[in-house]
Chain A
């Protein structure tokens, strides 16, 4: 597609369940980023992929969070045993040159 696509757009899950969030970047963009946007917190960096490898996972808040990218394209962010503090908007961005970021619409995750 022409832009970064994220799915689902909204997800409500029960505390303790696992969730998977998907990001389909702009075709040809080798860099992919995940950010978390919480109310009043701005954008919190989670992880960066260059191709299929993740040189920087420093932003993942706990070992319940993991991400992978396959084929240099689609990425999945997985949150295991979700907690209420995981509720946020999860944003994916892709970039051709690691400078200009193109964002998706985000996935709004609500843990109840």
Chain B
């Protein structure tokens, strides 16, 4: 079945450690790719997006993600995490790019950063 897969359900890091959260999708053709974040007690919000062009995209708070088309991947990275990055991170895909309408989400990765 077509899906969005996030490799880790729970990640625990110490402050200043580097972060990489994996995301793979199984849709062919054009896709729009996203990472959303949900901080404790807050609503889901967009972290970064990829539509086309440079496959390395930068988002808020020092996050970046790299689109590797051949691997159907869109991994999220941050060189040095902070305690305030503790949150749940969701990878998401719109199959069909701007012609599509349905955002499909992965199961999420809960990140806990120890101070």
B-binding residues in A (CB < 8 A): 3-4, 31, 33, 35, 40-43, 45, 48, 50, 55-56, 91, 93, 98-101, 103-106
Q: Across the interface, name the chain B residue whose C-beta is closest to A98.
A: B101
Is B14 among interface residues, defined by CB-CB distance under 8 A?
no
- B side interface size, CB within 8 A: 21
Tally inter-chain residue pairs, CB-CB below 8 A.
48
Q: A35-B105, A43-B108 are in contact. List 17 more A-B contacts (CB 8 A).
A: A4-B43, A31-B101, A42-B107, A42-B108, A43-B90, A45-B103, A45-B105, A50-B101, A56-B101, A93-B44, A98-B94, A99-B32, A100-B46, A100-B49, A103-B44, A103-B45, A105-B43
Which residues of chain B are within 8 angstroms of A31 by Cβ–Cβ distance?
101
A99 to B97, CA, bound (A): 9
